[in-house]
Each structure stands twice: as structure tokens, then as C-alpha cells.
Amino acid sequence: MRFEIFKEFFIFFISIGVFLALWEAYYWIFIQNPFVLSPPSKVLVTFVQLIVGDPKFTETGFSMPIDMIYSLYHYLYGFFFAIIVGFSLGLIAGWSKKVEKFLYPIIELIRPIPPIAWIPIAILLLKLTHTAAAFIIFIGAVFPILLNTMYGVSSVEKKYVEAAMTLGATKTTTLLRKVIIPASMPAFFNGLRVGSGVAWMCVVAAELFGVSQYGLGYKIQLARLYHSPDVVISYMLAIGIIGLILDRLYRIAESRLIRWRRGFVVE
């Protein structure tokens, strides 16, 4: 067991090391221009300086810990409502074919529109506020959650519902609470993870139009104006790390909340 863990860590670090080495070599062979691209050796130093609050960055308005907090606030603000709306509508539409047919044209009309296309509408309706940023994130996250929840509910086998009714669960609320919702949780969590990834990507687009003086997306735009590729890539790296942590947290929550799947599915 310990050998397998060590092997996984070894492969992980070798993979990252090879990627960084190729990136470094590409810079020194083909680029050699710090205003076009920065090598990883410089990016990693800049990333640490931004995290610890080096004065040369804080004096120009770059404070990565504060920017992370603002971006997480926008993410949680929009994603919270995406979960509420997506799960509720998905549950109702998956349970009722009439509701599904009613919602289908509306969903498929709005879903293909990229979240970034909603920025002008968000600004006109909500002005340059945190709510406007959360709205863009909501648009990006709600449909994966809604569709996966709807699929999970509609895919529950009838035999489970009939068995529950035979045992006395005749009320719709009881069936939903005891059978439908637990059985649809794997699909819901799949939508949750996909929606979370989309929502976190939308954070950059949502912050580009300057809802505040802080945020990872906003500072990427600011660093571009300063012609600082090392700062841009450092903030991109921060976005990737936080996205990885968020996905890991959802996977842990999934494994704990639906333990009943163990032994029934391939893991």
C-alpha cells in the first residue's frame, strides 16, 4: 500500500517536472523575451512573492490572498443559487414529464448561450456589482446541475419506487425523500462537479468588467496592461490550484454522502 502511494507521488512529480523543464527550455530556445512569456523559474518566484505580499507587488495593487477571497466570494455567491435552482428544477422536471416538456425548449434555448455573452445584460440589470459577477457564474453553473439532476431522477428504476410504495411510502414527498433523491445523488454530484468547474472558469470572465478592485480575474487583466506575463501566469496558477482543491472537496463530500454505492459500482 505504501509503495503504491509512493509510486503515485513519484509519477505525479515526474510529470510536473517534465512539463516545467519543457516550458523552461521552450522559453530560452524560442522566446527569450520577458514581455511575451515568462519561464517557470521566474513564475514560481513571482507566485511566492504574490502570496507572501512582497511590497513591490502590493504597492501596485496586487494582493493575491485578498484577490482569492474576493473570487471565492463571487464563486460561492453565484454557485449557491445555481445549486438551489438547478437541483430544484432538475428534481421537478425529472419527476414530472409535463414539467420536463415545458422546460425543455426554454433550457435548450438559453443553455447554448456562452456565459460571457450575458455580461452586457448583467451590467445593465445589476450594474457593476458583486451580484452581477455572481449572475455570470450562476448562468455557467446552473445547467450542468439541472440536467444531471433531471437525468438522475428520471433514471431511477420503477422497481425501487414500487417496492417503496409496497412498504407504505405512498406520498410523493416520502418517495422523493426516501427513494428518488438518494438514488439520484450520484448524478447530482456529477453535475455539481461539472458545474463547479464551469463556475470557477466563469469567475475570470465575471471579474474582467471590474466589479471591484480585487479578484483573480480582474488582476489578470490588470497584469496584462502592465505587460507582466509572470504575474498573469501566477494568477492563472492560483486559479488552477483553487479549482483543483474545490473539485477534491466535492469528491470527498460525494464519497461520504453516498457511501451506499460502495460494493455496487466499479471504483
Q: What is the pLDDT along the chain (267 residues), one digit of tens a residue?
A: 566 767 777 887 898 889 989 999 999 998 888 888 899 999 999 999 999 988 888 888 888 999 999 999 999 999 999 999 999 999 999 988 899 999 999 999 999 999 889 988 988 888 888 899 999 999 999 999 999 999 999 888 777 776 777 777 767 777 777 788 888 888 999 999 999 999 999 988 888 776 777 899 899 989 988 889 999 999 999 999 999 899 989 988 888 877 666 555 445
> Which residues share a beta bridge with 262?
265
What per-residue confidence (pLDDT) applies to 266? 44
**Domain boundaries defined on the chain:** 1-32, 39-261
Distance between CA atoms of residues 224 and 161, nearest Å: 56
Cell digits for 132?
452581477
Sign of the four-CA dihedral 141, 132, 234, 76: negative
What per-residue confidence (pLDDT) applies to 104? 92
Residues 6+ apart with CB under 8 A from 133: 74, 77, 78, 122, 203, 206, 207, 211, 215
- Angle among Cα 85, 143, 75 to the nearest 5 degrees reads 70
Distance between CA atoms of residues 146 and 84, nearest Å: 10
| Region label for 153, one of left (φ > 0), alpha (ψ between -120 and 50) or beta (otherwise) | alpha
> Which residues share a beta bridge with 265?
262
Q: How many CA atoms lie within 13 A of 204 on its CB side?
A: 16
39-261 architecture in CATH? Orthogonal Bundle (1.10)
The CB density around residue 69, as the number of other CB atoms within 10 Å, is 13
Give exposure, 95-112, as e/b (b: 16+ Cβ within 10 Å).
beeeebeebeeebeeeee
Distance between CA atoms of residues 125 and 127, nearest Å: 6
What per-residue confidence (pLDDT) applies to 141? 95
User: Is 192 within 8 Å of 204 (Cβ atoms)?
Assistant: no
